[in-house]
Amino acid sequence: MNEIIAEIDKQSITDIDDKLKKARLVTIISLVCNLILAGLKIGFSIKSGSLSLLADGLDSALDITTTIFGYVAIQIAIRPPDSDHHFGHEKFENFFSLGIAIILVASSGIIGYQAINKLIERIASEFSIANVAIASSSILLKGFLVWLNVSIGKRIESPSLIANGKNFRTDVLTSIAVLISVTIGDRSIGTFDLFWVDPIIALGISIIIVITAVIIAKESAGVLLDQSPSESFIKKVTEITNNQKGVKKTGNIRARKVGSNIFLVDIDIFLDPCLTIEEGHKIACQVEDVIKEKLPIKYIQTHVEPYYEEEHLKSNLEEEQ
């Protein structure tokens, strides 16, 4: 594990090639882990009849698809601005994350349908020590993938990697539930049959998947629909701007997300009307440079307005009243 992080940390995360390299490494690790888990879970679930293990295996198979989608999204998102996309391609990652959410909802519907049928037919799964070992291994591997995808996703500001990490986080919970299911699903307590444990847990897995999908979809849709950042972010922009030499007042700040933690900002700054165009331009450039240095802002559009003290005092009084 330490060797993996050492490899990931070799270069600066600000470099595009480095970001792609890190994303590729995380993708390969996630794919290998999920290929192994999906093959083992599906194979042994068919043999033992465990629906919860099969559901978990199908979820791992879907993770292979979402991981590939996420990597493709990163490759598109890191492309520089061009004639068709003047502000870059970062939102493509959120678009793919929304696609991941749709896939998760579809898979949960299939799992839920099978669980209900098995519950109605009162079919018990067969106990297998191999199933117990596979479910236990899944908990450990999925926990590792959560940490890897989320931590690296935050470092390189990748919404798709973070979305995958959140998906793997629910997989840890489902693997714990599956472990319980494959351990006691074929048993009974006296005359009380526990056949229902396996389909009920499978149904629970499908519900957890839906919840995860809704969370991912909500975050992705917020970016795609130009959701504004928090009020504290706007206050920070105002504070930084007002502290710059020559700025009399700040107003009409408009901001929107274009990535996991990347923003576009439009801002009006009020300056002494006696300043020359060149002097006003220098102050505006200074404001933009300082804000970009202190906050994760990709583009700033600064509009210079003349400051007239009497008018602004009157405006402030009207706002207070």
Highest mean pLDDT among 28-32, 70-74, 181-185: 28-32
Mean pLDDT confidence for 251-258: 80
pLDDT at position 13, please?
44
Q: Does an H or E element contain 156, and which?
A: none
pLDDT at position 193, please?
65
* Cβ–Cβ < 8 Å for 50, 198: yes
CATH architecture, domain defined by 2-224: Up-down Bundle (1.20)
Fold of 231-320: Alpha-Beta Plaits (3.30.70)
Q: Do domains 2-224 and 231-320 have the same CATH topology?
A: no
Question: pLDDT-based confidence at 11, cuts 50/70/90?
Answer: very low
Q: What is the pLDDT of residues 166-190, one digit of tens each?
A: 878 877 877 887 787 777 755 544 4
Q: What is the pLDDT of residues 200-248, one digit of tens each?
A: 877 877 787 788 788 878 877 777 777 777 788 888 888 888 888 888 8
* Cβ–Cβ < 8 Å for 299, 264: yes
Domain boundaries along the sequence of the chain? 2-224, 231-320
Query: Reduced to 3 DSSP states, what percent helix, strand and coil does the chain have, rounded to the nearest 5?
Result: 70, 10, 20
Which is more confidently placed, 37 or 67?
Answer: 37
- 302 CB contacts (<8 Å, ≥6 apart)? 267, 268, 269, 284, 287, 288
pTM (2 decimals)? 0.58
Mean pLDDT confidence for 75-85: 71
The overall average pLDDT reported for the chain is 76
pLDDT at position 186, please?
55
Share of the chain above pLDDT 70, in %: 78
pLDDT above 80 (res 76):
no
* Cβ–Cβ < 8 Å for 171, 63: yes
Task: Using alpha carbons, list the distances in angstroms from residue 255 to 77, 211, 317, 319.
Answer: 20, 29, 26, 22
